[in-house]
Amino acid sequence: MHSSLVISQADARPMYLQITEQIRMRVAAGDWPPGKELPSIRALAADLKVSVITIKRAYLDLEAEGVIVTRHGKGSFVAEAQDRMQAAQRAELDTHLAAAGRIATTLGMSEDELMDRLRQAMNPQEPEA
């Protein structure tokens, strides 16, 4: 089973994060519908030429987020629709918030300043304090 996932050596992120993000995006876009069987950990590792541990880490993270479910002896599958979209969107939000936190730290912003900016972004009609 060819996964059509791609690992970029030029990407600074760990391989398991690249895999996790690509699977999340396919699920969120509806390319991988609920119930779709994912490649086995060993098959995907061989396909991407990475270690089994890398794929296992990605699958465990996706399962913890509710994007996939693993059935013992049967494999891993895309979670049912009601959970998968929300899980994928929450994961995407977490990625953006982590990036915002890193940028704020680089700029020397305090946590309060970052929270004020987030509040302003969520309520753009309110004037800044």
Calpha distance 116→118 (Å, rounded): 5
Domain range for 27 is: 15-122
The total domain count for the chain is 1
For the ranges 53-62, 72-81, 117-126, the one whose mean pLDDT is highest: 53-62
Give residue-wise pLDDT tens across range 94-106: 888 999 999 999 9
CATH of the domain at 75: 1.10.10.10
Give residue-wise pLDDT tens across range 30-62: 888 889 999 999 999 999 999 999 999 999 999
> Is 7 within the bounds of a domain?
no
Q: Which residue has the tokens 């950990």?
A: 41
Q: What is the mean pLDDT of residues 66-88?
A: 82
Residue 77 has pLDDT above 70, yes or no: yes
> Is 9 within the bounds of a domain?
no
Tokens of 76: 């891993």
> Is 63 within the bounds of a domain?
yes
> Is 128 within the bounds of a domain?
no
